[in-house]
Structure 1
Amino acid sequence: MFTVPLALHAHYVFVVIALAALLMASNRVRYDMIAISVVLALMLGDILSVSEAMAGFGNPVVVLIAALLVVGEMLDRTGVARFVGDWIGRHSRSSANKLLLMLMLASALLSAVMSSTAVVAIFIPIVLRIAKQTGHSASQLLLPMSYAALVSGMLTLIATPPNLVVSEALNTAGYAPLRFFTFTAPGLIVLAGLIGYMLLWGRHWLPDNRVAAERSPQRSIQALWHEYQVDHQLTYLRISETSPLQGKTIGQSGLYNRYGIRILDLSQQTRGWRKLKAGVSPDIVLHSGDILHVAMHPEDSDRVEQTLGLAPFHPSQMETQYRSWEFGAVSVLIHPDSKLIGKSVRDARFRDHYDLDVYGVRRKREPLADYQNTPLQASDSLLVTGTWTKIARLKQQKHDFVLLETPSEADDIVPAYKRMPVALVIIALLVLSSVFNWMPLIAAVMLAVIAGVVTRCLSAADAYRAIHWQSLVLLAGMLPLAEALQQTGGTDMIVGSLISLAADASPHTLLVMLFFITALLTNILSNTASAVLMAPIAISIADQLSVSPYPMAMTVIFAASAAFLTPVASPIITLIVEPGKYRFIDFIKLGLPMLGWVFVCCYYLVPWFFPW
């Protein structure tokens, strides 16, 4: 291991920071590899001990982000993200500007009353869902959303840790601490400027990082249905109060044997709730008001309605959505070694053995007319329908079947949608805990993760898969830089040299200097670290000038939330690097005008709202 002379330690750290920034800007090296290189450089240069250099990997912020990503996955798997995304998509489908506006407002307002990092982690799956539905690139939505969450730090006292740091510094110096809405008014002006900037100019500079070579779009179940020339149509029927089917089981009803009607699934009223039953069995008792999802010949609709008292029914969008998450179809090939070869679908008792229905067979790309009774051959393809769970089991029968095609609906399955109310309760408790400070945020989030796994909103394996390890390694590897600058005196060198340039300057000049020093440290280290370093200095400067400390304190707060320029300045930004596939230059290009706007607001508004 080489040893850097003690007098050059600070300069060595500056070189490490500069090289890391250049590598990030080049976009030729993965960010997580750069972060690991930074850890090695600090360790091998004898700047930090091994435990200090590796401390970032055990930092509570890293653990917090990992847990929040799991919470976001819980919202995705239970359908909460889907419904929020659908709602925003429906109300902004006609306008890209309206979509950006709704996302930024929702992100900023939520972040004002709870952890901004938590809001961004929760919104990532929602934004990815919206991008998929609307055809927008996720990279054109994630950055404005995260910038809005950053600006929320200028709205309320609890929005971001630096605000609490500055308030405590004022209290320690003998001044009144900040109140919840002390700086909300100027913060709203900054937020309005961000939204206007993004809608008018910024959105044109947002990168489009969609993968160019996307696979060909999957076909829908309806397209497969048409390809196999199925002579049945899918429809919904409601059992009327006069229907002779009331009180009979599905087996006794004769719907299939007499009328050729196959029940795919049904929903029944149970204790005031309509419960969907996918994968029906013959012993289910039918009642008036039951909704049957069936496959039947179109010409039989009038006869069925008159004879059996089954009236057409039009389900709500939500009911249709639930069914698509339960019921599906796939196309499979008969394996050359399959035990079904030589047997017909009827002889093989396919439904009895697999609890799935076959609605068509193709041989040499041509549909078979009497597919139920024709002996199967190797490479015949079958259109199989049923619950997604049973279809997944069929895929495991690799000696009998080969998966040929999965429809597009399979990508939209929400596997734990029945646990959505539980997930909403968990999130509500997490938000309340954050707002009222019932416990440390990291404890609340980890309890939410445990609750999500215990209540089966997601499995432990799902939780581990949800973690973006690249983002965590990036953050953990860059965190020790703050400690290195402090230990080597690098921070004091930056602050001292710049402050000395304005020794006899006016308060406004010192405000400008204070803003850019804090913003520089924020984008190199972190917003919390810069607030810890600069809050006492700001108050000390005000005391030396015999002016109110609040304009200086507000300057630190605003500059600490202006972490727009680098992907490592704040966890809020780090989280979106991987899903948005952003480059270093994207943050510089989009962030510089925002930094300028925050400075203008700080220079003119802070002294007006908080007089000297």
Structure 2
Amino acid sequence: MNGELAVVLILLLVAIAMFAIGRPRMDVVGILVIVALPLTGILTVDETLAGFADPNVILIAALFVVGEGLSRTGVTYRLGDWLARTAGASATRLIVLLMLSVALLGAVMSSTGVVAIFIPVVLSIAARTGMSARQLMMPLSFAGLISGMLTLIATAPNLVVNAELIRDGSDGFGFFSFTPFGLVVLILGIGYMLFARRFLDRKGTTDAADRRSTFETLTADYNVDGRTHRYKVQPRSSLAGLALAELDLGTGRRGGALILERSRLFRRTVHTTADNARIERGDVIVTDVDVRPEDRGVLGLEEIESGDAFFETYSRQVGLGEVLIAPDSSAIGKSVRGLRFRDEHDLIVLGVRHVGRAAGASFSSLRLAAGDTLLVAGPWSAISRLQGESRDYLVLDLPVEGDEVAPASNQAPFAILSVVVMIVLMVTGVVPNVVAALIAALLMGIFGCIDMPSAYRAIHWPTLLLIVGMMPFALALQRTGGVDLIVNGLLTTLGGAGPRVLLAGIFALTAIIGLFVSNTATAVLMAPIAIGLAHELGMSPYPFAMIVALAASSAFMTPVSSPVNTLVVEPGRYTFFDFVKVGTPFTIIVLIVSVLLVPVILPL
């Protein structure tokens, strides 16, 4: 071992130690590496910073934006709604559908983001059905990890391994090269979790009964559903062409619409306080005005069934909030009508609770007192502004639906279209993968699925800095002979046992390093070693690279192996040993399946 290699290995061990203890943050460790390597003289500054220009770093950033577009348009939340309706009270059906849904969605967006989205969905289902959240959260995290084995873009380690193949002179993997392995692991994972959930007993389960209010409890407390009506604008209606602010439903009061719903082909548009929105034939007007039958005929309106708790169907775009009249509020002594809440705060008052009881339909004329509460509706952004700006009103805890806001819900079909275009471009190879992802991100912006501030916030910069910071280590190890040293060590130890044993050794080494280092950093370190080993044996690099990618996604053994696991620890009330107990056997199963399957699909 030469002196330069010793320096690189010391830096690598120090980085691993900092990853293991969690101090400093992983992105800071990446920056420290970027600073330290040029000082050693082994790499130049340009070589150390080359990761910032790597196409895969840009690709990962673009995929963060695409994933955020799916969240902002409510595509992910609608999948959760379907899951809750379809699974019902069956724990088995729920686990199967949950893992399939998360894996499918995680194949085209960040698995960490998918798991974060599904956590409140799963907790809500657990609260309604009485299931144990402990038996649902770990299947959620396992499915998020397995999703990384389904497509090329599903997780950063896949892209890192693919980039190393291309850097080595090979063609790289195709979009669906990972899919056969991921599908087998997913099927095994579902079966395994149906069996293993018995080891995640109800002891220590979360308090499923969420104390926060919901749309259902709020509308019941203020008797909103009982006095809310829906009317469809008929073809010959005299209301067509009017602005919402000009609407008069026969009471002499203008602007009586709470919600204006419009369906065009596969899109549904919802307007709340947009007074300049024009009413069109076929629109549905949601109002608290009970239009008299004779007036319906004159206005050209047809009343349609509201159904129970129909307000929840608008929850991704229309917010509800409970507002308390402060003791020194200027609203004291005024009527609701006199507050001009719609003009001042872009919100509509749906009901009032006075002296602990819900006021009747004539609440708008009630004189308000300190301690009274109002139920307001409108854009979630308007409720947030009221929460932070007004001294007259105190916004109480927002309902749980506020965790699933989809401000661009009307653009959901365009978000799906953008993802489909990206996948088609990647599969056909018409343009490089990074260009396909950038096209999808641009389409998301053009169609209004995401705005620039949201796009920048969506990019997980610590992940990018970690990848860029660890990339130079691969080059430094190659230049100083470190890759050759590790390859020769593996050949000496396992070379006589055959290629499958070598694949098993690479998988085990990758999984063990992944206990202390992020799976992305692990892939950066192990990909050149695996490919170098393949060249040393005169074999194809593809099965060796695939083994590294699969092992990097097999971070099932500890709660700190992946952010996906860390997210579910608190909601599931898991201990470190819970993951060791359930995750270690499944990691061994994935190792065996990978070693048997990879050489068959990707010949040595």
Q: Indicate how the Cα distance of structure 1 residues 283 and 501 shifts in structure 2: closer, same or farther if over 3 A, else same.
A: closer
Residue type of the partner of 2:214?
Answer: S
**180-189 or 558-567, which deviates more:** 180-189
Contact 2:249 2:256 in 1 (8 A): no
Q: Residue deviations 1:403-429, cap 9 Å, x none?
A: 345334433331111111221221111
Residue type of the partner of 1:68?
Answer: L
Contact 2:354 2:372 in 1 (8 A): yes
Matched, 1:411 2:409: no
1:534 to 530, 535, 539: 530
Distance (whole Å) between structure 2 residues aligned to residue 522 and residue 434 of structure 1: 29
Contact 1:155 1:187 in 2 (8 A): no
Q: How does 1:81-480 map to 2 (within 5 A)?
A: 81-102=76-97, 104-105=99-100, 118=109, 120=111, 123-124=114-115, 126-128=117-119, 130-135=121-126, 136=133, 140-141=138-139, 143-152=141-150, 162=161, 189=184, 192-201=187-196, 204=199, 217-227=211-221, 233-238=227-232, 254-257=249-252, 263-267=257-261, 276-279=270-273, 291-295=284-288, 313-314=304-305, 323-334=314-325, 340-347=331-338, 356-361=347-352, 365=356, 372-373=364-365, 375-376=367-368, 380-388=372-380, 391=383, 398-480=390-472
Classify the secondary structure of the residue corresponding to 1:562. helix
Superposed displacement of residue 69, structure 1: 1.6
Q: Residue deviations 1:22-59, cap 9 Å, x none?
A: 55445676444554555566566665555555555554
Classify the secondary structure of the residue corresponding to 1:439. coil
Contact 2:243 2:279 in 1 (8 A): yes
Superposed displacement of residue 101, structure 1: 3.8
2:75 to 64, 76, 80: 80
Q: Over the residues paired in the alignment, what is the CA RMSD in angstroms?
A: 5.4
Work out which of the two has the higher radius of gyration on C-alpha atoms and give 1 or 2: 1
Distance (whole Å) between structure 1 residues aligned to residue 180 and residue 109 of structure 2: 24
Q: Residue deviations 1:329-368, cap 9 Å, x none?
A: 4333445675545543345555566565445455665667
**89-98 or 67-76, which deviates more:** 89-98
TM-score for the superposition, normalised by structure 1:
0.72
Q: 2:547 matched to which residue of 1?
A: 558
Any unmatched runs of 5+ in structure 2? 127-132, 514-520
Contact 1:265 1:294 in 2 (8 A): yes
Number of aligned positions between the proteins? 579
Classify the secondary structure of the residue corresponding to 2:551. coil
Distance (whole Å) between structure 2 residues aligned to residue 231 and residue 511 of structure 1: 64
Contact 1:419 1:457 in 2 (8 A): yes
Distance (whole Å) between structure 1 residues aligned to residue 577 and residue 450 of structure 2: 37
Q: 1:576 matched to which residue of 2?
A: 564
Superposed displacement of residue 254, structure 1: 4.8
Q: Indicate how the Cα distance of structure 1 residues 565 and 398 shifts in structure 2: closer, same or farther if over 3 A, else same.
A: same
Distance (whole Å) between structure 2 residues aligned to residue 321 and residue 228 of structure 1: 15
2:476 to 476, 479, 484: 484
Superposed displacement of residue 193, structure 1: 3.8
1:498 to 481, 485, 490: 490
Q: Residue deviations 1:535-573, cap 9 Å, x none?
A: 45435525xxxxxx46x8635533542225669xxxxx8
Superposed displacement of residue 92, structure 1: 3.5
Residue type of the partner of 1:148?
Answer: I
Q: Indicate how the Cα distance of structure 1 residues 558 and 95 shifts in structure 2: closer, same or farther if over 3 A, else same.
A: farther
Contact 1:150 1:562 in 2 (8 A): no
Distance (whole Å) between structure 2 residues aligned to residue 611 and residue 355 of structure 1: 64
Classify the secondary structure of the residue corresponding to 2:498. helix
Matched, 1:69 2:67: no
Q: 1:546 matched to which residue of 2?
A: none
Superposed displacement of residue 128, structure 1: 4.2
TM-score for the superposition, normalised by structure 2:
0.73
Q: Residue deviations 1:462-494, cap 9 Å, x none?
A: 122223334334434333332332233222111
Residue type of the partner of 1:418?
Answer: N
**238-247 or 396-405, which deviates more:** 238-247
Contact 2:324 2:394 in 1 (8 A): yes
Contact 2:260 2:270 in 1 (8 A): yes
Distance (whole Å) between structure 1 residues aligned to residue 376 and residue 331 of structure 2: 14
Distance (whole Å) between structure 2 residues aligned to residue 344 and residue 155 of structure 1: 57
Distance (whole Å) between structure 2 residues aligned to residue 560 and residue 367 of structure 1: 59
Contact 2:119 2:568 in 1 (8 A): no
